[in-house]
Amino acid sequence: MDSSKYSLRDFVYIPDADIMERASIFQSYMDDVKEKHHYQYRRVSLNGSGPTMEVVDTYTGEIKEMIYMASNDYLNLTRHPRVLAAGQSALLKYGAGAGSVPLLGGTLDIHTQLEKDIAAFKGCEDAIIYTSGFGSNCNTLLALLGKQDIAILDQYVHASIVDGCQRTNVRYFRHNNMDALEKILARAQDEYVTKLVIVDGVYSMDGDIAPLNKIVDLAHSYGAYVMVDEAHATGVIGRNGKGTPEHFSLEGKVDIVAGTFSKGLGAVGGFIASNSKLIEYLRFYSRGYMFSTAMTPQAAGSLSEALKVITSEPELRQRLWNNINYFRNNLLSLGFNLGNAETAIFPIIIGDDWKVKEMGRRLHEMGIYVNPVFYPAVSRKLSRIRISLMAGHTKEHLDKVLNALEYLGREADVIGSAVKEKIAATIE
Ligand SMILES: Cc1ncc(COP(=O)(O)O)c(C=O)c1O
């Protein structure tokens, strides 16, 4: 099969093929993706997240040290000595697992401590914690919204939110577009019992920030609530790294603050912070919480310490922002299209699936680990190389990546006039 003629979407459903046949057709697609060296998934790391990473090369089998530009471990807390020590001591004290679901025996004092810590960090009364960020969003929304309600979603919200809205009415508004949001709010005004506007604080594919101040004003003026997913904002934006509400001085004004423990906080899990009544309700009605074993002690121990580190070591966030500014200014002066990216996530928009796959292959060969993103993850005209930065990247790492991008961008003719002029000047 020629994989360049298909995308992952083509194998969601194949008429008359049962699940085994479908999997087998998909396999022949993937075999060709691998044959073309466009398979950039599940690269195996031997030492875990860091500015560089030892990776087993999928194609040669060799172990190589790569500059890791695809981690959400923005502050490198996965390896912070205090975070490691706290996780280790929780592991030794409480064991490898919590032993039961939270309501029926699995709640440890370090779980209730983490609930308090994350609620305080987010300026909310209480919080519920889950073992994954995906499960957190999805199960919370499944528990809260039904047929009588409506979820009003930015078109780019995360899949966990989309999946959580399967039991309710859903309307999408154009990304970050307040006129489009207002039209939906106006139409929904008297029709539904609960109206919940849901946005990401920082968008995972675009690295831009939701205009949360306008969203909250607008939603509240139409009697709707607001939920913000802080997965990529926590630890990164806001004066103290507390996220989008802090960035817009809205602490305590957003009805539901969701987030993950897996990115800026360096471990795993998710949370929902809100008023104490809503949180207690969720503890009894959110099936993914009730019927799933509580977070591992090691994660809970590490996470309370990670929250302390974010507050006591602002220099980590400062280092991340120095890197963001340096990388961004250089990419822009080279003429790359970064959309409206403002944070640690850089979409280098190429707008051609084949070129993105080829650039992904070449970057991998050069020892630079990025995520090529193409249809159906984003529309074809917005296909991109997605890069994310960490506090621990050095100027040498960033320069090496910038040089490679300039070289490949020039080769593929995907950079704007700025670089073309620069190149022309060198040739003359
Ligand atoms: C915006 C957003 N929300 C939720 C999640 C799910 O979080 P987790 O990976 O912790 O399950 C992710 C990413 O993976 C995300 O990007």
* Protein residue with its CA nearest to atom 8 in ligand 1: 133
The pLDDT of residue 427 = 46
The answer on pLDDT for 216 being more than 80 is yes
Whole-angstrom CA distances from 318 to 74, 156, 209, 227, 306 are: 11, 28, 18, 28, 16
334 CA from centroid of ligand 1 (Å): 31
10/14 Cα distance (integer angstroms): 8
390/319 Cα distance (integer angstroms): 8
Per the annotation, the verdict on 263 as an active-site residue is: yes
Q: Which atom number of ligand 1 is nearest to the Cα of residue 270?
A: 10
- Taking each helix axis from N to C end, the angle separating 395-411 and 417-427, rounded to the nearest 10 degrees, works out to 80
The per-residue pLDDT for range 296-350, each reduced to its tens digit, is 999 999 999 999 999 999 999 999 999 999 999 999 999 999 999 999 999 999 9
- Using alpha carbons only, give the angle 279, 285, 291 rounded to the nearest 5 degrees: 110
User: Ligand 1: which of 74, 130, 134, 371 to mutate, most ligand atoms within 8 Å of CB?
Assistant: 134
- How many helices (H) and strands (E) would you count in the chain? 15, 14
Q: Amino acid letter at 259?
A: G
The pLDDT of residue 19 = 97
- Taking each helix axis from N to C end, the angle separating 297-312 and 81-94, rounded to the nearest 10 degrees, works out to 150
Per the annotation, the verdict on 242 as an active-site residue is: no
Residue 220: count of CB within 10 angstroms of its CB: 14
Q: If pLDDT is split at 50, 70 and 90, which confidence band does 417 have? A: low
63/52 Cα distance (integer angstroms): 13
134 CA from centroid of ligand 1 (Å): 5
**Alpha-carbon torsion angle 76, 77, 82, 84, nearest 10:** -100
What is the CB < 6 Å shell around ligand 1?
132-134, 137, 158, 160, 200, 204, 229, 231-232, 260, 262, 270
The pLDDT of residue 291 = 97
Residue 149: count of CB within 10 angstroms of its CB: 19
The per-residue pLDDT for range 355-399, each reduced to its tens digit, is 999 999 999 999 999 999 999 999 999 999 999 999 999 999 999
Which of these is catalytic: 80, 111, 263, 355?
A: 263
The per-residue pLDDT for range 14-29, each reduced to its tens digit, is 999 999 999 999 999 9
- Range with the lowest mean pLDDT among 39-43, 84-88, 257-261, 368-372? 39-43
Q: How far apart are the first and last CA of the chain?
A: 46
Which of these is catalytic: 3, 136, 204, 383?
A: 204
The pLDDT of residue 189 = 85
Q: Which atom number of ligand 1 is nearest to the Cα of residue 132?
A: 11
Share above pLDDT 70 across residues of the chain, in percent, rounded to a whole number: 97
The answer on pLDDT for 400 being more than 70 is yes
295 CA from centroid of ligand 1 (Å): 16
The pLDDT of residue 421 = 56
377 CA from centroid of ligand 1 (Å): 15
User: Ligand 1: which of 260, 265, 292, 296 to mutate, most ligand atoms within 8 Å of CB?
Assistant: 260
Structure-model confidence comparison of residues 413 and 170, the more confident one: 170
Which of these is catalytic: 38, 158, 232, 247?
A: 232
The answer on pLDDT for 423 being more than 80 is no
Per the annotation, the verdict on 64 as an active-site residue is: no
424/78 Cα distance (integer angstroms): 44
Going from N- to C-terminal start, the domains of the chain cover 1-36, 40-68+315-427, 77-312
Q: What are phi and psi of 369, to 5 degrees?
A: -95, 110
The pLDDT of residue 428 = 42
Mean pLDDT within 217-241: 98
224 CA from centroid of ligand 1 (Å): 24
User: Ligand 1: which of 73, 158, 209, 343 to mutate, most ligand atoms within 8 Å of CB?
Assistant: 158
Enter the tokens of residue 107. Answer: 């709640």
135 CA from centroid of ligand 1 (Å): 9
Tokens 């996780």, residue? 87
Surface-to-core class of residue 352, CB atoms within 10 Å of its CB (0-12 exposed, 13-18 middle, 19+ buried):
middle
Q: Which CATH class is domain 77-312?
A: alpha beta
* Protein residue with its CA nearest to atom 10 in ligand 1: 133
188/149 Cα distance (integer angstroms): 10
Residues 6 or more apart whose CB falls under 8 angstroms from that of 217 comprise none
The answer on pLDDT for 245 being more than 50 is yes
Tell me if the domain spanning 40-68+315-427 has CATH number 3.90.226.10.
no
Q: If pLDDT is split at 50, 70 and 90, which confidence band does 424 have? A: low
The per-residue pLDDT for range 141-176, each reduced to its tens digit, is 999 999 999 999 999 999 999 999 999 999 999 999
Closest by alpha carbon to 135, among 29, 231, 2? Answer: 231
* Protein residue with its CA nearest to atom 7 in ligand 1: 133
